[in-house]
Amino acid sequence: MGLIRVLVLTWGSESHASSRIRALDYLPLFNKQGRMVFRWIPRVPERRTVVQKLASPFIKRYLLTKRALAICCGRYDFLFIQRWFLPAWLLKVLEIRGIPFLYDFDDAIYLNTPKQPRNQRNTLRMISGATKVVVSSPVLVSWCREAGIAATMITTPVDSPVIRRKKDYRRSGPLTIGWIGSSYTTPYLKLILPALKALRPRMDLRLLLIGADPGFDSEGIPVTLYPWNQANERSLLCQMDVGVMPLPDAPWAEGKGGYKIFLYMAAALPVIASPVGINRDIVDHGKNGYLAGNQAEWEKSFWLLGNDPLLCQKMGAEGSRLVQSRYDRQQCFVELSRCFDFCLDAEK
């Protein structure tokens, strides 16, 4: 049998978190097997430089045409589509040509918004036409099940071997409360500010934020902001004393995949998270971190960890073991490989 030809279509470019972590970073592992050859076409180009930003509208149209031609005329054994909604006519082309596809998504992308009122319809169209559906959290599995589709849950993986683990939990300075995210999720940090302001008169603390909106108002809490890049992600995690994932109790947040928590745990950090969605499954309250649903619980969690380095070390070790055994890319790769094989068997 010759090489299996796979067309990879992602929502974003390499700098887009979901596209990179849930699709592109798996390709080297498949390449090592030597049985597949991949062609990747993103939906949008990179926009890091001024030239790239100016050329983006034109490159985006070029990529759209390139995708359509690949689907209509390309010779592929199956497609791996991460998050992108194919137009109905391209789905029909895949059906006519008998090409199976795996559809992966990691947020509640089916929620309609004023700007995107057809999200639910588009998501239903994609999962109904897919040979295999892969999602990142139990909430997304349940939504697919209610729609009559069986989805496989593969959590968003961490590459734990490349993440520097915290080794020294002694502190001579403030408790460093870390968070990693994006401008879009920065408002969630407002959920912990009341607890931090209440604690500040009796505890020295600060925020270390990676990828946050530069305009974030910490309301008097000392804060250091860093732009996101892979180097920062890997080097700054171990400078944190505790990692946090505050979330509102809302439908979009419930669908989140817990990737922040996996990163903190891979760096051997204790975590504090809102008891929303998959967070309840990852955090074993009192063992590898704390679940905090209100201001009093956030205050108590910060106080306990801020005054007990040995507790931080113990919880960090528990979280690190959990990630390596269940949420590391190697474990998730085994599950994704099975899903790929399912699509290939469906083609025969």
pLDDT digits (tens, 9 = 90+) for 170-223: 988 999 999 999 999 999 999 999 999 999 999 999 999 999 999 999 999 999
pLDDT score recorded for residue 186:
97
Mean pLDDT, the chain, as a whole number? 95
Q: Are residues 38 and 95 in the same domain?
A: yes
- The mean pLDDT of 20-26, rounded to a whole number, is 97
The tally of CA atoms less than 13 A away on the side-chain side of residue 281 is 17
The region that residue 179 occupies, defined by phi over 0 for left and psi between -120 and 50 for alpha, beta otherwise, is: beta
pLDDT score recorded for residue 147:
97
Q: Are residues 270 and 341 in the same domain?
A: no
| Range list of H helices, the chain | 17-22, 27-33, 50-73, 88-97, 119-129, 138-146, 193-199, 230-236, 251-254, 259-266, 279-282, 295-306, 309-322, 329-347
Q: Are residues 318 and 343 in the same domain?
A: no
- The mean pLDDT of 277-281, rounded to a whole number, is 96
Residue 2 has pLDDT above 90, yes or no: no
CB atoms within 10 A of CB 290: 24
Note the pTM of the prediction, 2 decimals.
0.94
Structure-derived torsion over alpha carbons of residues 119, 121, 123, 126, reported in degrees to the nearest 10 = -140
pLDDT band at 348 (very low <50, low <70, confident <90, very high): low
- The mean pLDDT of 117-139, rounded to a whole number, is 97
Q: Are residues 141 and 202 in the same domain?
A: no
pLDDT score recorded for residue 98:
95
Q: Are residues 22 and 110 in the same domain?
A: yes
Residue 120 has pLDDT above 80, yes or no: yes
pLDDT score recorded for residue 122:
97
Size (the chain), residues? 348
pLDDT score recorded for residue 144:
98
CATH code for the domain of 131: 3.40.50.2000
- In the chain, the number of structural domains is 2
pLDDT score recorded for residue 179:
98
Residue 347 has pLDDT above 70, yes or no: no
Domain containing 164: what range? 160-326
- Please compute Rg for the chain using Cα positions: 21
Which residues neighbour 119 within 8 Å (Cβ) at sequence distance 6 or greater?
A: 109, 110, 111, 112, 113
Q: In which element (H, E) is residue 226 found?
A: strand 223-226
pLDDT score recorded for residue 229:
87
The tally of CA atoms less than 13 A away on the side-chain side of residue 301 is 30
Residue 231 has pLDDT above 90, yes or no: no
pLDDT score recorded for residue 55:
81
- The mean pLDDT of 315-344, rounded to a whole number, is 96
Q: Which of 96, 42, 99, 91 is nearest to 75 (CA)?
A: 99
Q: Are residues 305 and 202 in the same domain?
A: yes
Q: Are residues 72 and 127 in the same domain?
A: yes
pLDDT score recorded for residue 232:
85
Residue range 71-100, pLDDT digits in tens: 999 999 999 999 999 999 999 999 999 999
CB atoms within 10 A of CB 81: 22
**130-132-135 Cα angle (round to 5):** 105
- The mean pLDDT of 275-288, rounded to a whole number, is 97
CB atoms within 10 A of CB 348: 5
Q: Are residues 206 and 187 in the same domain?
A: yes
Q: Are residues 58 and 132 in the same domain?
A: yes
Residue 1 has pLDDT above 70, yes or no: no
Strands 271-273 and 289-291: parallel
pLDDT score recorded for residue 54:
81
Q: Are residues 32 and 181 in the same domain?
A: no
Residue 275 has pLDDT above 80, yes or no: yes
Q: Which of 67, 78, 83 is nearest to 134 (CA)?
A: 83
Q: Are residues 63 and 140 in the same domain?
A: yes
Q: Are residues 59 and 116 in the same domain?
A: yes
Three-state SS for 204?
coil
Residue 50 has pLDDT above 80, yes or no: no
